[in-house]
Structure 1
Amino acid sequence: MSQIEEGQELSDEVGYLVYNETLIDHFMNPRNVGEIESPDAMAVVGDPTCGDYLRAYIKVKDGRISEFKFLTMGCPGAISTSSIATELAIGKTLEEALKLTDNDVIQAAGGIPARKAHCSLLAIRGLHEAILNYQRSSPLPRVGEGKGEGE
């Protein structure tokens, strides 16, 4: 075995000790990455301790999160947990989505390294901020959109 192969094995082994298969999968194949054209709301959140930040975009239909996408400048933990958070939120009512917690993401991820928790949970903060921005900017009630517009 060459030294490069040995070093690669060590990197792979260390990676698996830090991030589990679920986190690695969501990092390598993140879901719902990108911007939403004409989002109903968005938010930008960050972690000043490490410089990570996230932009969260949502679309709402009939009081439910129909789309949730993100763009992030962050570590593998931030990317993978953001991907997981989008899957947890899509299809939920606004009230249900506001009840999602960091622990819900951690549980869905199968755990995250403790030293990465500060930057790995930006998506829940971004989701909550986007929902609050949506609620602040929307006339009430929002369910039944389109009333008064020829429907």
Structure 2
Amino acid sequence: MTTQQCLTKLSKKSLTIACAESISGGALAFECVRHAGASKVFKGGIIAYHPEIKIRQLGISRQDITAYGIVSAEIAVQMAQSIRTLYQADIGLATTGNAGPSTQEGVGRREAWIAIVTPDTTITKHLVFERETRLQAIKKTVDTTYQKLLETI
């Protein structure tokens, strides 16, 4: 329901979105486009699952990845800013994280960072997955992203 509410509100305000996804692996885009009317607001997205794609496609610097970590608020914000610019969207959404069961080198826990970038504001949200399965962690990331978007717009 939240995603449909987002689409309705975005459409009424003539706003567009684009997404850069890592942990969600395309689920954020799918959750949007499965609803009728998504084409009015959704411009597209990139699945930047591997760090090299974040670097080559989104322009995230290796230095920032080293400094902040691939799973960080700073990288999520840069991903959202980049996708917003690349797709000329009003709002950029981004997810980065570890759904488990294993974690990436240098990241000791299963977690995600969500970023939402608009012309006026930048919002981040940190999630920690303790008991969730991999699929539950991904779903929680997607659901939380749309909930935060609804609160933002």
TM-score calculated relative to the size of structure 1: 0.30
TM-score (structure 2 length as normaliser): 0.30
Larger Rg: 1
| Larger helix share, 1 or 2 | 1
